Structure 1
């Protein structure tokens, strides 16, 4: 149940209303944007809610449980506030959203209709559509320890304890040639072992993509430059001369943890966990069927 401001209650009971919707979007980079379906800008608590920005929402419908609600937010990519480059850069991913019903004649009279986070964003040629997930959707996500054969830790976190700032796991490079939106060659990292940056991360330090990060799909060494392939294209073109920081990657296998990082003591997986093939297996003549460990070296 929502508690309405006394002034808003009186306004609603007056017969004729002057109401509109306002959306407040707080991105992870700290930017706060406001939008309204009113025909002029409104200022609420220091945030200007822009009119005519091509930002509209479907009907709001609440439901029981943790399922994602049916509310979608649609907008025009031509808007000065929301650009295709910002969407491609992920600036709106998981952005916090507040939807309010506001008396545009007195913006102090307002009520919050929904709070949540932007979910899946789909883009067309001239517009985008974003799914708004309620606060309860966070409870529908898996939490806690995951038991699996591969490592559950993130390379370099407090449980892994690998120092990604160490010279053996970190480098700086410069783009020498651009092959495609995914692939390019770079100088400055030619001394590293081939493949060490596969599944690693690039953070651009100059160029149009400065400050953005992306995961490396593959890394190989050439003469004299290294070849890098990205999982996703950058939102803005990569140019020759762009510089970046790059850190090592890990495929989370026990062999990689042992041979590349010498960090088996902190390995977060269970490589000897029986799988479906083991559960469905059967004893065969000539196999080691004495009940002992299948992984013993003796």
Structure 2
């Protein structure tokens, strides 16, 4: 049930309304953006909701019980703050969103209709469609610890304890040859063994993608050549001489934790847990 102020209720009951939709988006990096389907910008609570031509939303779908409520927003990539590069880089993944119904003639008259997060984003040419998931979506996500053989901590976090700023787990270098937007030959990390940085984090420190961080898919060392492949394309075209910092990766296995990081005291898995093979063994009588 939505509770409206007396002034807003009277405005709606008047039969001649000046209503619009406003969307407030807060990305995980702290950036806050506002958009509205009105033809002029609307401002309230310190956020300016930019008038976005062609920015429309589907009907809000409500479900009974704990089913997920959702809707879709469709728009054009015409705003200076809503770019194709940001969508491709995943900067809007799991962004928090609040949807308001507002009297654009008096923005103090408004009501919060829905809150949740951005789910799947589909792009077609210069337009996009974003799925907005309700708060019930989080009830479907697994929480707590799982009993599994591999570690459930993130390398370098508080539970893991490995210091990734140490030179033993961190390398700096430059791109020598850009094979593609995600694969290149590099110099400066020749002393590290092959696959040491696989599953690690690659951060551009100069060039068109400066500041961008992408997970490493593979790190191979063949004779004098060292090659890095990322899981996705860099935002800008990598060029010869672009500098980077890359940190070690971890496959979450107990053996890796022991041999590479000497950190078994903080291992957060259960390496001795019986597997499916143990459960399906047939008992045999001893002689």
Q: After TM superposition, is the score higher than 0.5?
A: yes
> Who is 2:261 aligned against?
261
* Worse-superposed segment, 224-233 or 104-113: 224-233
Give the count of matched residue pairs: 287
Question: Is the CA contact 2:208–2:235 (under 8 Å) kept in the aligned structure 1?
Answer: no
1:185 matched residue in structure 2:
185
**1:211-248 deviation line (CA, Å, top 9, x unaligned):** 11111011122444421111122232222221111100
Secondary structure (helix, strand or coil) at the match of 2:60 reads coil
| Structure 1 consecutive aligned stretches of length 4 or more whose deviation exceeds 4 Å | none
Alpha-carbon distance between aligned partners in 2 of 1:66 and 1:232, rounded to the nearest angstrom? 35
Matched, 1:25 2:29: no
Name the CA distance, whole Å, in 1 between partners of 2:42 and 2:158: 46
Moved more, 133-142 or 158-167: 133-142
Query: Hey, what's the Cα distance between the residues in 2 that align with 1:47 and 1:154?
Result: 35
Mapping for residues 112-261 of structure 1, pairs under 5 Å: 112-261=112-261
Contact persistence 1:254–1:264 (CA under 8 A)? yes
Aligned partners of 1:35 and 1:53 also within 8 Å:
no
> Secondary structure of 1:168's partner?
helix
Cα distance change on mapping 1:43 and 1:158 into 2, 3 Å: closer
Structure-2 residue corresponding to 1:67 = 67
Residue in 2 that maps onto 1:3: 3
Q: Is the 8 A contact 1:189 1:225 kept in 2?
A: no
- Aligned-pair CA distance for 1:115: 1.1
* 8 A Cα contact 1:66 1:140, kept in partner: no
Task: Write the mapping of 1:78-117 to structure 2, written as runs, cut at 5 A.
Answer: 78-117=78-117
Contact 2:205-2:243 within 8 A present in 1 as well: yes
Report if the CA contact (8 A) 2:68-2:135 is conserved: no
| Greater Cα offset, 91-100 or 267-276 | 267-276
Deviations 1:190-224 (A, max 9, x none): 11122110110011111121111111011122444
Matched, 1:55 2:46: no
Give 1:283 deviation, angstroms: 4.3
The alignment's TM-score, normalised by the length of structure 2, stands at 0.93
| Aligned mates of 1:209, 1:68 — CA distance in 2 | 36
Q: Provide the secondary structure at the position in 1 that maps to 2:168.
A: coil
* Alpha-carbon distance in structure 2 between the residues aligned to 1:67 and 1:17: 32
- How far is 1:47 from its partner? 2.5
Measure, in 1, the Cα distance between the counterparts of 2:174 and 2:6.
Answer: 61
Q: What corresponds to 1:295 in structure 2?
A: none
CA shift, 1:99, in A, is: 0.8
Deviation for aligned residue 1:87? 0.5
Report if the CA contact (8 A) 1:53-1:81 is conserved: no
Instruction: Output the aligned Cα RMSD.
Output: 1.9
**What is the CA–CA distance in structure 2 between the aligned matches of 1:262 and 1:96, rounded to whole Å?**
39
How far apart, CA to CA, are the structure 1 residues paired with 2:206 and 2:157? 26
Identify if the C-alpha distance between structure 1 residues 174 and 41 changes in structure 2 by more than 3 Å, giving closer, same or farther. same
Shift of 1:79: 3.8
User: Is the partner of 1:75 in helix, strand or coil?
Assistant: strand
User: What's the CA shift string for 1:67-87, capped at 9, x where partnerless?
Assistant: 332311111124433211010
Greater alpha carbon shift after TM alignment, 249-258 vs 124-133: 124-133
> Which residue of the partner structure matches residue 15 of structure 1?
15
User: Helix, strand or coil for the counterpart of 2:70?
Assistant: coil
